[in-house]
Amino acid sequence: MEKDFRKNKKMPPYDTRIMENSEEYVKKYGTLFTAELNGQQLCCYLAIHDDKYMMGLQAASRRLETDEYLRKMIGFGNRMLVWEAIKYADSKGICQYDLGGYYAEETLDPEMEGINRFKRGFGGHLNERHSYFKDYSISLKAARKATAIWNRINRH
Protein backbone atom coordinates (compact mmCIF):
# COMPACT_ATOMS: atom_id res chain seq x y z
CA MET A 1 0.00 0.00 0.00
CA GLU A 2 2.80 2.41 0.89
CA LYS A 3 4.56 1.91 -2.46
CA ASP A 4 1.31 2.48 -4.42
CA PHE A 5 0.51 5.52 -2.28
CA ARG A 6 3.88 7.13 -2.93
CA LYS A 7 3.75 6.26 -6.63
CA ASN A 8 0.24 7.72 -7.06
CA LYS A 9 1.28 10.89 -5.23
CA LYS A 10 4.45 11.12 -7.36
CA MET A 11 6.60 10.93 -4.24
CA PRO A 12 10.10 9.46 -4.23
CA PRO A 13 10.64 6.08 -2.59
CA TYR A 14 10.78 6.28 1.18
CA ASP A 15 14.18 7.32 2.55
CA THR A 16 15.19 4.36 4.69
CA ARG A 17 18.16 6.19 6.21
CA ILE A 18 15.92 7.29 9.06
CA MET A 19 15.45 3.64 9.97
CA GLU A 20 19.13 2.86 9.67
CA ASN A 21 18.35 0.68 6.59
CA SER A 22 17.27 -2.03 8.98
CA GLU A 23 14.18 -4.19 9.05
CA GLU A 24 15.29 -5.24 12.52
CA TYR A 25 15.15 -1.60 13.63
CA VAL A 26 11.50 -1.34 12.60
CA LYS A 27 10.70 -4.67 14.24
CA LYS A 28 12.31 -3.51 17.48
CA TYR A 29 11.03 0.07 17.65
CA GLY A 30 8.08 0.21 15.27
CA THR A 31 4.37 -0.24 15.84
CA LEU A 32 2.08 -0.53 12.84
CA PHE A 33 -1.53 0.61 13.11
CA THR A 34 -3.99 -0.42 10.38
CA ALA A 35 -7.63 0.28 9.59
CA GLU A 36 -9.89 -1.83 7.45
CA LEU A 37 -13.51 -1.83 6.38
CA ASN A 38 -15.34 -5.00 5.36
CA GLY A 39 -12.05 -6.87 5.06
CA GLN A 40 -10.40 -4.22 2.87
CA GLN A 41 -7.38 -2.44 4.29
CA LEU A 42 -7.92 1.32 4.02
CA CYS A 43 -4.87 2.87 5.62
CA CYS A 44 -1.84 2.23 7.78
CA TYR A 45 0.35 4.27 10.08
CA LEU A 46 3.84 3.34 11.29
CA ALA A 47 5.25 4.92 14.43
CA ILE A 48 8.63 4.31 16.04
CA HIS A 49 9.23 4.65 19.75
CA ASP A 50 11.28 3.88 22.76
CA ASP A 51 10.11 4.09 26.37
CA LYS A 52 9.91 7.94 26.40
CA TYR A 53 9.36 9.21 22.86
CA MET A 54 7.14 8.22 19.93
CA MET A 55 7.13 9.61 16.40
CA GLY A 56 4.81 9.02 13.47
CA LEU A 57 7.09 7.86 10.71
CA GLN A 58 5.04 6.80 7.70
CA ALA A 59 1.39 6.81 6.69
CA ALA A 60 -0.24 5.41 3.58
CA SER A 61 -3.80 4.98 2.43
CA ARG A 62 -6.05 4.20 -0.46
CA ARG A 63 -7.00 7.88 -0.25
CA LEU A 64 -6.88 8.36 -3.98
CA GLU A 65 -9.94 6.15 -4.51
CA THR A 66 -12.73 7.74 -6.54
CA ASP A 67 -15.69 6.37 -4.56
CA GLU A 68 -16.85 9.22 -2.29
CA TYR A 69 -18.03 6.96 0.55
CA LEU A 70 -14.73 5.06 0.56
CA ARG A 71 -12.76 8.33 0.51
CA LYS A 72 -14.64 9.52 3.59
CA MET A 73 -14.05 6.23 5.39
CA ILE A 74 -10.34 6.43 4.56
CA GLY A 75 -10.19 9.98 5.95
CA PHE A 76 -11.88 8.80 9.16
CA GLY A 77 -9.52 5.82 9.28
CA ASN A 78 -6.44 8.06 8.98
CA ARG A 79 -7.63 10.19 11.89
CA MET A 80 -8.50 7.14 13.95
CA LEU A 81 -5.05 5.59 13.45
CA VAL A 82 -3.25 8.71 14.67
CA TRP A 83 -5.60 8.92 17.65
CA GLU A 84 -5.04 5.22 18.43
CA ALA A 85 -1.27 5.76 18.21
CA ILE A 86 -1.54 8.67 20.65
CA LYS A 87 -3.62 6.55 23.03
CA TYR A 88 -1.13 3.67 22.66
CA ALA A 89 1.76 6.00 23.54
CA ASP A 90 -0.13 7.25 26.59
CA SER A 91 -0.89 3.70 27.74
CA LYS A 92 2.83 2.86 27.54
CA GLY A 93 3.79 5.92 29.61
CA ILE A 94 5.49 7.58 26.65
CA CYS A 95 5.83 11.24 27.56
CA GLN A 96 6.17 12.83 24.12
CA TYR A 97 4.47 12.12 20.80
CA ASP A 98 5.66 13.70 17.54
CA LEU A 99 3.38 13.61 14.49
CA GLY A 100 6.50 13.87 12.35
CA GLY A 101 7.31 17.04 10.49
CA TYR A 102 5.53 20.31 9.72
CA TYR A 103 5.70 22.29 6.48
CA ALA A 104 7.00 25.77 7.25
CA GLU A 105 8.50 26.91 3.95
CA GLU A 106 7.79 30.36 2.51
CA THR A 107 6.42 28.88 -0.73
CA LEU A 108 2.71 28.15 -0.39
CA ASP A 109 1.93 24.47 -0.95
CA PRO A 110 -1.79 23.68 -0.54
CA GLU A 111 -1.19 19.94 -0.16
CA MET A 112 1.39 20.43 2.58
CA GLU A 113 -0.86 22.96 4.33
CA GLY A 114 -3.59 20.30 4.27
CA ILE A 115 -1.23 17.92 6.07
CA ASN A 116 -0.41 20.67 8.58
CA ARG A 117 -4.15 21.26 9.17
CA PHE A 118 -4.63 17.51 9.73
CA LYS A 119 -1.84 17.48 12.34
CA ARG A 120 -3.05 20.67 14.05
CA GLY A 121 -6.44 18.98 14.47
CA PHE A 122 -4.96 16.79 17.21
CA GLY A 123 -3.90 19.75 19.38
CA GLY A 124 -0.40 19.88 20.70
CA HIS A 125 2.24 22.44 19.82
CA LEU A 126 5.20 22.87 17.53
CA ASN A 127 8.70 21.97 18.64
CA GLU A 128 11.70 22.79 16.49
CA ARG A 129 13.89 19.78 15.75
CA HIS A 130 16.85 19.30 13.45
CA SER A 131 18.20 16.34 11.51
CA TYR A 132 21.75 16.02 10.35
CA PHE A 133 23.29 13.64 7.83
CA LYS A 134 27.06 13.55 7.51
CA ASP A 135 28.48 12.91 4.07
CA TYR A 136 31.89 11.28 4.34
CA SER A 137 32.76 11.53 0.68
CA ILE A 138 32.44 14.12 -2.08
CA SER A 139 30.66 11.63 -4.36
CA LEU A 140 28.08 10.79 -1.68
CA LYS A 141 27.48 14.50 -1.06
CA ALA A 142 27.02 15.11 -4.81
CA ALA A 143 24.67 12.13 -5.12
CA ARG A 144 22.56 13.32 -2.17
CA LYS A 145 22.29 16.83 -3.67
CA ALA A 146 21.39 15.46 -7.10
CA THR A 147 18.72 13.23 -5.56
CA ALA A 148 17.21 16.17 -3.66
CA ILE A 149 17.06 18.26 -6.84
CA TRP A 150 15.57 15.36 -8.82
CA ASN A 151 12.92 14.79 -6.14
CA ARG A 152 11.94 18.48 -6.07
CA ILE A 153 11.64 18.62 -9.87
CA ASN A 154 9.55 15.45 -10.08
CA ARG A 155 7.29 16.27 -7.16
CA HIS A 156 5.46 19.06 -8.96
Q: Considering the domain boundaries, does residue 150 fall inside one?
A: no
Closest CA to 111 of 9, 5, 15, 14: 9
Lowest mean pLDDT among 10-14, 80-84, 149-153: 10-14
Q: Considering the domain boundaries, does residue 152 fall inside one?
A: no
> Helix (H, G, I), strand (E, B), or coil: what is residue 43?
strand
Give dist(CA 156, CA 153) in Å, integer. Answer: 6
Summarised one tens digit per residue, pLDDT across range 88-101 is 999 999 999 988 77
Q: Considering the domain boundaries, does residue 75 fall inside one?
A: yes
Containing domain of residue 97, as a range?
Answer: 2-131
Q: Considering the domain boundaries, does residue 156 fall inside one?
A: no
Q: Considering the domain boundaries, does residue 127 fall inside one?
A: yes
Cβ contact 97:86 at 8 Å: yes
Summarised one tens digit per residue, pLDDT across range 97-136 is 988 777 777 788 888 888 888 888 888 887 777 777 777 7
Closest CA to 156 of 5, 2, 9: 9
Q: Considering the domain boundaries, does residue 136 fall inside one?
A: no
pLDDT exceeding 70 applies to what percent of the chain?
81
